[in-house]
Chain A
Amino acid sequence: MRNNPSSKAYRTILDTSRFYRSLGVPALVILAFLFILPLSIILSKAFVDSDGGFTFNRLIGNLTSAYTLRILAFTLFQASVSTVASVLIGLPGAYLLATYRFPGKRIIRAICTIPFVLPSILVVLGFVIFYGNNGLINQLLMNLFGLEEPPLRILYSFTAIILAHAFYNFPIALGLISSFWEQLPAHCNQAAATMGAKRWTVFRTITLPRLMPAILSAATLIFLFCFSSFAIMLVLGGGPQFTTLEVEIYRRARMTMDQGGAAALSLLSIVVALVLIFIYSWTQRSLARQEEIQETVQGRLPRSPQSLRAKILVVLYTLFSVVFVLGPLAGIILRSFQAPGSRSGNLEFTVKWYEQLFGIQSQAGSILGTAGTAVLLSVVIATITAIISLIIGAMTAATLRLSKGRANLTMELMAMLPMAVSSVIIGLGYYLISSFFNESKTTGSILIVLAHVVIASPFVLRTVLPEYRKIPFTYTQASLTLGATVSQTFFKVELPLLRGALATGAAFAFAISMGEINATLVLANAQVVTMPVVMYRLIGSYNFPGACALGTLLIVCCALVFSLTESLKRRPHA
């Protein structure tokens, strides 16, 4: 059916409809403008020498220096190690999820979505709270074994970076690989078994090769995330020893005021990320091809674990992922309500951090005092970002749904390009733009919103587009034959069907903006202080309980928005 002429013809009225094109084009233009403007300013900086003339020297000088190369090598190295670690942790879980049905499955599934939502500043904070020298784990171990000294000393080391990255990214591998694994038809395995292959041989010769596209796809994505990891490196990296490209860009832009150098390094970072994006979209396409083949075949049916070994594995993995991922978050909330007691020195329950936060119990000159306004500013910025990103994302999706073949690929790439340009670089671009304006709170906030829109819109698009493509064309056609115009159909049939996806997309955009620190930190002037920036400063001044109180608020905000969207969703269409 796929290739017969009639199914091609099915879409023609929509293809020729000006309505859908008129939706996407302005949205894409705005997005492109918001994206290209800061980028071109960065690029121009990279090629302009101190006299204002055109030069390659700065670029060449920066890119060939031993210092830069060492940073690049380290960035790639840590990304590789982090990726391998994440995939290795995720793979067994993917097997369990694809093979068994068990009570904790939904929890693990929920955990899989966390990395996309969880702000990296919370990851860092949670990591310190959980694994730090005075962290929960050390406390637990010291209490258990009566130790005097914390046995675990990993903070501010290479291990810490890898661990934090793995904690942040293994759920991606888990989610992507398991959902693909579940759809692998069991027939092939059974066929191999009838030909005499033992279980391990079946895995090695059948399952693993067929999983490869999914594994590669997940690995590329994780590598990209680790490559452009910023907040984690900034806090846990500690010094020049563990500097990555993104941190170096930030350092040059905001500390040594070497804008040209920052621009040159941005260019390097973009090139590497572009290569990764191309690999990623290639793996995605080979995944899609595989799924197309499997479309008609029944996937595996997960069953309850029977053997004792399987049961133990399932329980252990569920516990492990809950502790590994939710533990640090729980730690943040726990610590925000604790303070050393005045007499005993033991930790006691308190709300004093929150009181300080809202200025009830003010301390002159404290960072915490600024938190109240920062929370408000963050909520305002996130709300505006969510609304704009939602509109842009939905409009783009309406157009992209219809496009196919080559045009489709280019347009999707266009929408994915912001992924290639890290948020630090976007921030740098808008920081350079901000020098054209007077430093004020309003302009600063607007620039932050624009940067956040560029960062969040692709996520909205990627949430909405797949759901949009799932709406059968016959729904649209049925509506048209019943007398609805194209625009009436869009508003009465398509948008209502997309309600869930739109709500999720908006929630994503909101959460991303709320927790966004990379671009914000690079871009923000002294007057514009958002919640994650305050958290970063609190961590920097070792005020962990204060950071925890703020982090708890951030968690609550995002949780509220997501539960709100869940209640907005209706039953998905069959």
Chain B
Amino acid sequence: MPEYGLVCTGLAVQYPEFKLNLDFSIIQGELVSIIGPSGCGKSTTLQLITGLLPAEQGTIHLHGRDITDTPVWEREIGMVFQDYALFPHLNVEENIAYGLRLRKTPRGQRKTGVAELLKLVGLEGYQKRKTIDLSGGERQRIALARALAIKPKLLLLDEPLSALDAQLRKHLREEIRNIHASTGITTVYVTHDQEEALTISDRILVMNNGHMEQLDTPENIYMQPATLFAARFMGDGTLLSHTVIPQTIVSTDKGPEAVVFRSSGENRQIFFRPERVVVHDNQELAFPEFLPHLRFTNCRVRSCEYQGGRYLIGCEWNGNRILAYNRFRPARELITLGVRVSDLVEYQDGVVYRRH
């Protein structure tokens, strides 16, 4: 039985054109990303957890304590804001010590606390600097140190890296991961960047239009998306009607394909990621055989996008568009594509369809 850090039950707010309704729990010490398109309710969720926005319905428990009606300032939740919100009238030390002063921490303890935190975020000796003189990355770290200073039970990060350039972003997300590992604080990380979510999280919560689509490990989110929305939001892929299966399935002597796809799937769809597609552009060579698979012959290459290390190939097959990754630029315009049956995810009405 895991110990729950944050449990939101039936959490709901309503606006004229927007409704939020969430149920989820996060285990102590976990780092969970919330991801979704803009306007899906990510920030609203954070506001609800912090108490900056009162919940209309539902409860929030933190470390087993009901904090639904606790005012913001008593919730012991650290938050890093998108714009960092460092107080410009205070220097670095005063910013980090702000929460400690309010808690009447003695001066000496404050000083050592600030020094330790600055060491943790790799900015030793920054105490007396003005926040206006800091670079974006430095501000981000100070904001993190300030949020950690109050020894929160929960750390919330609201798109903390979105204002930084790509290089720095990669570097800092690694550091956030390290700091999380060393402090062990339950963390909720809001982002709109799929790659960021996949690399940093223990689990990912995919949100859309005010509700949760899926909460799972990065691998499962990517390879077994619970909904069509999650599937498409987390990366490229090809969506085809289930009826293409009988047209393309390759019989092998080992393959129980007839068994697998016996049930009629006319109203279902199949989805697969481009890296699961085998590209075969030379008819002279044998098609690499594997277990039961779909084979799309006479695919016409419509686009070929170099992504550094691989190509994203867009093909047309019988009026459908299929995406595939390949290490080489296809040598011919007409190619053959293959996908393993086990790499397909099936959807019915937008929700994953599980065969029993």
A→B interface (CB under 8 Å) = 1, 4-10, 12-13, 16, 472, 474-475, 477-485, 488, 492-493, 496-497, 499, 570-571, 573-574
Contact = CB atoms under 8 A, between A and B. Distances in A.
A488 B17 contact: no
B337 interface: no
Contacts of A475: 85, 87
Nearest to B131: A574
19 contacts: A5-B17, A5-B18, A5-B44, A6-B47, A8-B15, A9-B43, A12-B54, A13-B52, A13-B53, A474-B82, A477-B50, A480-B73, A481-B50, A481-B156, A482-B73, A482-B150, A483-B76, A483-B99, A571-B132
Interface stretch (B34-42, B194-202, B304-312, B317-325): B34-42
Interface of A is mostly: helix
Given A8-B15, A10-B47, 15 more contacts: A9-B13, A9-B15, A12-B47, A12-B52, A13-B51, A478-B79, A478-B146, A480-B52, A481-B73, A482-B73, A483-B102, A485-B71, A488-B102, A497-B88, A574-B132
B356 interface: no
B355 interface: no
Given A472-B83, A496-B89, A6 B146 contact: no
A16 B71 CA distance: 12
Contacts of A4: 38-39
B98 interface: yes
A12 B51 CA distance: 10
Interface string B142-172: 0000110110000010000000000000000
Interface string B22-52: 0000000000000000110111100100111
Contacts of A574: 88, 132
Contacts of A573: 88-89, 132
A484 B102 contact: yes
A477 B52 contact: yes
A414 to B, nearest CB: 28
B42 A6 contact: yes
B218 interface: no
A496 B88 CA distance: 10
Contact of B73 (A7, A8, A472, A484): A484
B284 to A, nearest CB: 55
Contact of B39 (A6, A474, A493, A497): A6
B155 to A, nearest CB: 10
Nearest to B149: A482
Nearest to A471: B88
Closest 5 A-B residue pairs measured CB to CB? A573-B88, A6-B43, A482-B99, A474-B85, A478-B85
A502 B81 CA distance: 27
A29 to B, nearest CB: 28
Contacts of A480: 50, 52, 72-73
B254 interface: no
Contacts of A8: 15
Q: Which of A474, A480, A483, A574 has the most CB of B within 10 A?
A: A483
A248 B98 CA distance: 59
Nearest to A493: B87
A296 to B, nearest CB: 15
Contacts of A482: 73, 78, 98-99, 102, 146-147, 149-150
A474 B83 contact: yes
B79 A481 contact: yes
A434 to B, nearest CB: 44
B77 interface: yes
Contacts of B17: 5
Contacts of A1: 38
Nearest to B16: A5
B158 to A, nearest CB: 9
A6 B42 CA distance: 8
A6 B44 contact: yes
A5 B39 contact: yes
